[in-house]
């Protein structure tokens, strides 16, 4: 049986980290996060440069504005929720057993990493890989590893970097920590202050019997915590895999360049998270919160699932350019749907053409020029109307069907748009017709075939179709389709038979 081993992830100042993880340009600048109703906001979170400049929690907006070169941001609950989910998702790649020990503005998780040495190597290597992955996602965290659950939790909350506590050294490692890390109430804290107990080492040195006599059963629990020997019933949580990124802006964004700058970082995070699970992005839904309470939505859906960051950003740029928001953007959210990337057999010296990424970019540019309803794959509609179809978004089929050999038949080639003609009737049948340039004599006419429908809408039709053989100046005859639009009293040459 392996000895229990726990790793604690401690991310302090989550409100600030959630807002700055997608904005690396602000990480070296003093940033204060304000919470509350204007104008009585107070500082709820700070980054490290702000603390070095002398800022502290609880300062009013007026106080922080009196300090030079400070960036003030509004606290965003949705940004914190997404950041917490991303941090939990990164942790879940190293252990499925995770307990949430977060409190207030601190995001903290404890992982049960018992028996993971064969997968990730020694605990130090696992901690280094986890910290690097969290740094890529934009988090600054401290990690602690111990055989005792609470020892790892307390050490991670009071140190920086990575700390590995050897088995049996928990009490010595925790001895220098202040007693405030136990998060005690005011009465026991005052009692310990009167006794002169300021560190966990001094608390652990007290005799257990006398301590329990004076403070009750809680005294034993606090002493066990100080010794690194407290028992804990592990309560794992279930982490849901949700590919979502959110960023709130302090001021409305009116131009596409700064919007794409943030979107590029968000797409990087989405593709990295999907790649960690051997997945790709099948689609990305873009949701923008605009000024005046408006909303704007876009959707990018490549022909094949992909994790190509530059390609997805290019599709997003073309989509926003074709459908720009009607007002300044206050918040941007990207919700991605995961999919399996297809396997394409490449050539010996060049990739198989056309490449899906180039095809998607070309289709997006065509849609911007001619309109979305004119680009895609034609699909016949369930209607009796001749030539009725709609355009669906183009997608690469996952399965290639075997070629179907059909008997040779006459082909009907539609003329788009149809050519208006003038028709001469003889005995209620077409006898001749004339287009813009020439006259044709009809040698045979078959019909009429009546079609009508949609009488309840503006798209109603009522027409007669005639299959005719016609010739020009006794030359080789042509077979064509003439249509008499009874509703509009017009004749049209709609197709030729090849």
Element (H, E) at 155: helix 149-158
Percent of the chain with pLDDT over 70: 93
- DSSP, collapsed to helix, strand or coil, labels residue 249 as strand
pLDDT (tens digit per residue) in 21-41: 988 888 889 999 999 888 889
Determine the Cα–Cα distance for residues 19 and 247; give it in Å rounded to an integer: 7
| pLDDT for residue 352 is more than 60 | no
Residue 2 — very low, low, confident or very high, per pLDDT cuts 50/70/90?
A: low
Q: What is the pLDDT of residue 346?
A: 55
First-to-last alpha carbon distance for the chain, in angstroms, is 80
- All domains in the chain, ordered by first residue: 6-167 (3.40.1170.60), 254-339 (3.30.1490.100), 412-497 (no CATH)
408 class by beta-carbon count within 10 Å (0-12 exposed, 13-18 middle, 19+ buried): exposed
Among 367, 389, 365, 364, which residue's Cα sits nearest to residue 378? 389
| pLDDT for residue 4 is more than 80 | yes
Q: What is the pLDDT of residue 79?
A: 92
pLDDT (tens digit per residue) in 41-73: 999 999 999 999 899 999 999 898 888 888 999
Question: For residues 42 and 35, is the Cβ–Cβ distance under 8 A?
Answer: yes
> What mean pLDDT is predicted for residues 209-215?
91
Tell the residue number behind the tokens 């059909």, with chain if given: 406
> What mean pLDDT is predicted for residues 90-117?
92
Determine the Cα–Cα distance for residues 443 and 5; give it in Å rounded to an integer: 94
Residue 1 — very low, low, confident or very high, per pLDDT cuts 50/70/90?
A: very low
| pLDDT for residue 494 is more than 50 | yes
Q: What is the pLDDT of residue 66?
A: 86
How high is the mean pLDDT of the chain?
87
pTM for the model stands at: 0.70
Determine the Cα–Cα distance for residues 307 and 341; give it in Å rounded to an integer: 9
Phi-psi region of 121 (alpha: psi -120 to 50; beta: other; left: phi over 0): left
Residue 363 — very low, low, confident or very high, per pLDDT cuts 50/70/90?
A: confident
Tell the residue number behind the tokens 């740094």, with chain if given: 135
Phi, psi angle pair for 63, to nearest 5°: -65, -45
Question: For residues 300 and 316, is the Cβ–Cβ distance under 8 A?
Answer: yes
Determine the Cα–Cα distance for residues 492 and 498; give it in Å rounded to an integer: 18
Question: For residues 82 and 273, is the Cβ–Cβ distance under 8 A?
Answer: no
Q: What is the pLDDT of residue 118?
A: 87
Among 125-139, 253-267, 401-415, 425-439, the least confident range: 401-415
118 class by beta-carbon count within 10 Å (0-12 exposed, 13-18 middle, 19+ buried): exposed
DSSP assignment of 190-227: HHHHHHT--BHHHHHTS-HHHHHHHH-HHHHHHHHHHH
Q: What is the DSSP letter of 384?
A: S
233 class by beta-carbon count within 10 Å (0-12 exposed, 13-18 middle, 19+ buried): exposed
pLDDT (tens digit per residue) in 152-161: 999 999 999 9
Q: What is the pLDDT of residue 453?
A: 84
Q: What is the pLDDT of residue 277?
A: 82
| pLDDT for residue 394 is more than 80 | no
């Amino acid at each position: 049986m392996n000895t229990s081993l726990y790793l604690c992830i401690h991310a302090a100042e989550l409100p600030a980290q959630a807002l700055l993880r997608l904005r690396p340009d602000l990480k070296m600048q003093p940033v204060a996060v304000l919470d509350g109703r204007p104008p009585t906001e107070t500082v709820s979170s700070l980054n490290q440069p702000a603390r070095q400049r002398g800022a502290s929690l609880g300062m009013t907006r007026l106080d922080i504005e009196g300090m030079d070169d400070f960036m003030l941001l509004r606290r965003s609950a949705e940004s914190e929720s997404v950041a917490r989910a991303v941090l939990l998702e990164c942790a879940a790649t190293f252990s499925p057993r995770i307990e949430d020990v977060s409190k207030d503005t601190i995001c903290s998780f404890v992982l049960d990493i018992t028996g993971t040495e064969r997968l990730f190597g020694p605990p130090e290597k696992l901690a280094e890989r986890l910290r690097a992955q969290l740094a890529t996602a934009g988090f600054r965290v401290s990690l602690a590893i111990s055989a005792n659950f609470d020892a790892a939790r307390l050490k991670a909350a009071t140190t920086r970097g990575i700390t590995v506590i050897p088995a049996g050294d928990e009490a010595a490692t925790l001895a220098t920590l202040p007693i405030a890390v136990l998060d005690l109430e005011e009465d026991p804290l005052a009692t310990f202050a009167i006794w002169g107990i300021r560190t966990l080492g001094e608390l652990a040195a007290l005799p257990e019997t006398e301590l329990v006599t004076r403070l009750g059963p809680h005294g034993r629990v606090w002493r066990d915590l100080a010794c690194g020997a407290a028992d804990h019933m592990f309560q794992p949580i279930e982490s849901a895999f949700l590919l979502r990124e959110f960023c709130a802006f302090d001021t409305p964004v009116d131009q596409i360049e700064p919007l794409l700058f943030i979107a590029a970082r968000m797409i990087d995070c989405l593709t990295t998270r999907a790649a960690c699970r051997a997945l790709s992005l099948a689609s990305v839904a873009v949701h923008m919160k605009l000024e005046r309470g408006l909303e704007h939505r876009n959707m990018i859906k490549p022909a094949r699932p992909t994790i190509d960051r530059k390609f997805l950003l290019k599709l997003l740029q073309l989509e926003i350019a074709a459908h720009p928001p009607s007002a300044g953007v206050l918040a941007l959210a990207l919700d991605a749907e995961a999919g399996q990337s297809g396997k394409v057999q490449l050539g010996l010296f060049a990739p198989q053409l056309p490449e899906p990424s180039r095809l998607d970019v070309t289709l997006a540019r065509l849609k911007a020029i001619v309109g979305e309803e004119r680009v895609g794959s034609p699909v016949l509609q369930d209607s009796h109307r001749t030539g009725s179809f709609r355009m669906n978004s183009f997608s690469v089929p996952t399965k290639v069907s075997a070629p179907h050999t059909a008997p040779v038949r006459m082909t009907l080639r539609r003329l788009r748009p149809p050519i208006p003609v003038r028709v001469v009737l003889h005995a209620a049948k077409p006898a001749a017709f004339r287009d813009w340039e020439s006259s044709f004599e009809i040698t045979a006419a078959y019909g009429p075939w009546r079609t009508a429908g949609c009488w309840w809408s503006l798209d109603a039709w009522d027409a007669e179709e005639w299959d005719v053989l016609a010739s020009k100046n006794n030359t080789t005859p042509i077979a064509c389709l003439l249509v008499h639009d009874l509703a509009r009293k017009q004749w049209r040459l709609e197709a030729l038979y090849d």
